[in-house]
Amino acid sequence: MDRRNFIKKAAATALSGVASIELANSHISANTFLNEKKNFSVSARAITMWDFSWLERRWAGAGYEDWDEALDQLAERGYNAVRIDAYPHLIAKNSTKKWMLNEVWNQQVWGSPDLNEVQIQPNLNKFLEKCRTRDIKVGLSSWYRQDTDNTVMTITTPEIMADCWIKTLKSIEADGLLDAVMFVDLCNEWPGNLWAPYFSSQYPHVVWGQWYKEESLKWMKTALKIMKEEYPEMPFLFSFDYGDVEKYNEVDTSFLDLYEHHIWMVHQNNSEFYKAVGYKDGQFSPQAYKSVVANAEKLYREKPQYWQQLLVDKIEQMAKVARQNKRLVVTTECWGIVDYKDWPLLDWGWVKELCELGTITAANTGVWIGIATSNFCGPQFVGMWRDIEWHKRLTNIIKNSPIDKTIISNKTVQKLLKRI
């Protein structure tokens, strides 16, 4: 079966509710759905990540200058959830101040490529109101953007982190908008040093992806305990980036209301793909993208089924541990390559192919309550954004993927489902 026919058949079976998907040259049995249908109800939301771009990319032509237009386009493509940065540390300090932010990078097109000024409130609540009007649920997170005064480094304890988030939620609650919030992720890709420098400065031996280390667990549990006491009906979590998903079985993760795990093919097998491409140091150096141009698609096309299998295996492994721990999963950053953009000699075709496979595979597991089609689903990624029919086809699959009843009977999971 060639790749195009496989994806077409996989999409069709996903819409029928088939419980699992296998790679090309494997059969997909319709009887699977007939046998398992009784175990399913509730459907996933099609979610996208608008990170800090929703507020920072508002200059002419940046994609988010007109929120009504951007959200209408999102809804047109079939998405009904979005994950954004709520800037909790800046709200806690001064919610209406105009903050000058440093750039995270100038090679990527998330956020701003240079110094930029933002005002969090009342803009956050204005955006939430527009989302609620369109039945677009909002996952709140934070990349802890660095302002010119380095306010982020004042988060020296988990208690301070919790206080920042409580003040943020109270500022939302004051305008009656808490019902627009789907979940709260206290820190993106914890405990990565780029997003949690306040933690890594104290515990430099706990590196990116090592959320399961003792110091990390203690911090998370302390912060989440405070949050849950203040807002017992709100789902809380920390999101994680790649790493060994078996760690969910090796440590007690009952303090997490759901899993937000980011999965990419390029990180599998110890980042085998990226190492072969020669991609590294992609924040400020153009050489990283020169390596992608020269090597990435060529490498993928040489043995596509090998790279596809790495992705499918990781998704199915994540589904297995989620099912074992009675937790639902949200993935907002995924499925093929991490860093990409509209650029000379970069084609979106192979990226979309992997993203389609990842989306369908996740949808068929029965454990994902929020599924992204990629981490490029925003108006600034023109080559990905303009293919409206591609988005509509995949979001239709996502929103018709029911959730395993053996998971949704869990009391913690029910808290999340009330917000869906």
Is the confidence at residue 16, as pLDDT, over 50? no
pLDDT tens-digit map of 327-368: 999 999 999 999 999 999 999 999 999 999 999 999 999 999
Average pLDDT over every residue of 69-86: 98
Domain boundaries, the chain: 3-417
Architecture of domain 3-417: Alpha-Beta Barrel (3.20)
The reported pLDDT for the residue numbered 9 is: 53
What is the three-state SS of the chain?
CCHHHHHHHHHHHHHCCCCCCCCCCCCCCCHHHHHHHHHEEEECEEEEEEECHHHHCCCCCCCCCCHHHHHHHHHHCCCCEEEEECCHHHHHHHCCCEEEECCCCCCCCCCCCCCEEEECCCHHHHHHHHHHHCCCEEEEECCCCCECCCHHHHCCCHHHHHHHHHHHHHHHHCCCCHHHEEEEECCCCCCCCCCCHHHHCCCCCCCCCCCCCHHHHHHHHHHHHHHHHHCCCCCEECEEECCCCCHHHHCCCCCCCCEEEEEEHHHHHHHHHHHHHCCCCCCCCCHHHHHHHHHHHHHHHHCHHHHHHHHHHHHHHHHHHHHHCCCCEEECCEECCCCCCCCCCCCCHHHHHHHHHHHHHHHCCCCEEEECCCCCCCCCCHHHHCCHHHHHHHHHHHHCCEEEHHHHCCHHHHHHHCCC
pTM here is 0.91
pLDDT at 412: 87
* Digit-coded pLDDT (tens) for 214-272: 999 999 999 999 999 999 999 999 999 988 899 999 999 999 999 999 999 999 999 99
Within a 10 A sphere around the Cβ of 232, how many other Cβ atoms? 9
Q: What is the pLDDT of residue 411?
A: 84
Paired strand residues for 48: 82
Indicate the average pLDDT of the chain.
91
Residue with tokens 């419980």: 19
